[in-house]
């Protein structure tokens, strides 16, 4: 299975982080009523932009399988935390809710 991690600016859909294009690793764990992403990424313009829009972010995880359709999970940040620890080069994102769906079911 291949996974893709993306962070987008919710207003306009501008891509900020795309694991297919940026060298980032991440973990995802349930936390309380939400989900916690911990992303290893160096400080730079990408993180500056992300933090400037931290209240307007959406996170996506695509799971691509060889024998079944791609599953897309859309995580809403809404009131969640978005923080960057420069000493550790770690971005933390807390998502409040999520929706799982199969994109092929919504194509025109």
Question: So what's the pLDDT on residue 106?
Answer: 75
- How do residues 35-77 score in pLDDT, each as one tens digit? 999 999 999 999 999 999 998 999 999 999 999 999 999 999 8
- The pLDDT of residue 104 is above 80: no
**Whole-number mean pLDDT of the chain?**
92
Q: How many CB atoms lie within 10 A of CB 5?
A: 19
Specify whether the CB–CB gap between 63 and 71 falls below 8 A.
yes
What is 44-108 written as a DSSP string? SHHHHHHHHTTTSEEEEEEEE-SSSPPEEEEEE-TT--EEEETTTTEEEEEESEEEEE-GGGG--
Does the pLDDT value for residue 13 go beyond 80? yes
Q: pLDDT value at position 98?
A: 94
């Amino acid at each position: 299975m291949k996974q893709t991690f993306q962070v987008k600016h919710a207003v306009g859909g501008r891509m900020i982080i795309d694991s297919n294009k940026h060298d980032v690793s991440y973990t995802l764990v349930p936390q309380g009523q939400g989900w916690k992403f911990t992303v290893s990424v160096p400080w730079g313009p990408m993180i500056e932009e992300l933090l400037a829009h931290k209240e307007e972010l959406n996170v996506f995880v695509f799971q691509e399988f060889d024998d079944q359709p791609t599953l897309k999970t859309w995580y809403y940040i809404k009131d969640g935390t978005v923080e960057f620890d420069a000493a550790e080069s770690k971005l933390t994102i807390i998502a409040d809710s999520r929706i799982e769906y199969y994109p092929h079911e919504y194509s025109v």
